[in-house]
Amino acid sequence: GVIHNGRTAFPAACDALARLREAGKHVVLLTNIPKPRGPIPAQMQRLGVRRDAWDVIVTSGDAIRAELAARAPGPMFKIGPEHDHTLWEGLGLAQSALSEATFIGISGLNSDEETPEDYADILQQARARDLELLSANPDIVVRYGDKLIWCAGAIARDYAALGGRVVMAGKPLASSGRVAKVAFTG
């Protein structure tokens, strides 16, 4: 289920999870946030997610980091906002222009105002060079309050539609949150 909308927690969902824990069940929060789990408990607290509502958090950022590190030193063409910087930290990846990159790493669109169409030329160039795209978030869109924001999964979807190679981590992939090579259909 969903426990927040990006701005505030859903109290009934948090209450239900806390009751499960009181009944002796373990609660694992799976999130497609493209960051390691380190700062996520504090973020959940800011949103109002009760600390007694979960036992552990697993992020898509954690799941993709080993794949990213395996490609070090790159160089990597990075797509994603500055606030996702923790995804890339400590991996030893050099960043470069697309023309020099050996793969693309994406945590999200560079700004909330952009759309997948803004990346069409980049994807065409990457496909012409047969670059692999590693996506730290399979979500197509995410709700932030009353607004829908495009996510890395939309770019991965569009790249796969061009015949590009995509490696992705997160839910609801059949790999149960592990890294998977995916092909979008539909």
Summary mean pLDDT of the chain: 91
What is the CA 106 to chain-centroid distance, rounded? 8
Query: For residue range 109-130, what is the model confidence (pLDDT) as tens digits?
Result: 999 999 999 999 999 999 999 9
Scanning the structure block, which residue is given the tokens 């400590």?
A: 90
Structure tokens at 132: 């692999």
- Is residue 52 within 8 A of residue 9, CB to CB? The reply is no
- Is residue 150 within 8 A of residue 115, CB to CB? The reply is yes
Q: What is the pLDDT of residue 146?
A: 86
- Is residue 134 within 8 A of residue 167, CB to CB? The reply is yes
Query: Rounded distance, CA 26 to CA 45, Å?
Result: 19
Query: Rounded distance, CA 128 to CA 131, Å?
Result: 8
Query: For residue range 21-46, what is the model confidence (pLDDT) as tens digits?
Result: 999 999 999 999 999 999 999 999 99
pTM, whole model, 2 decimals? Answer: 0.85
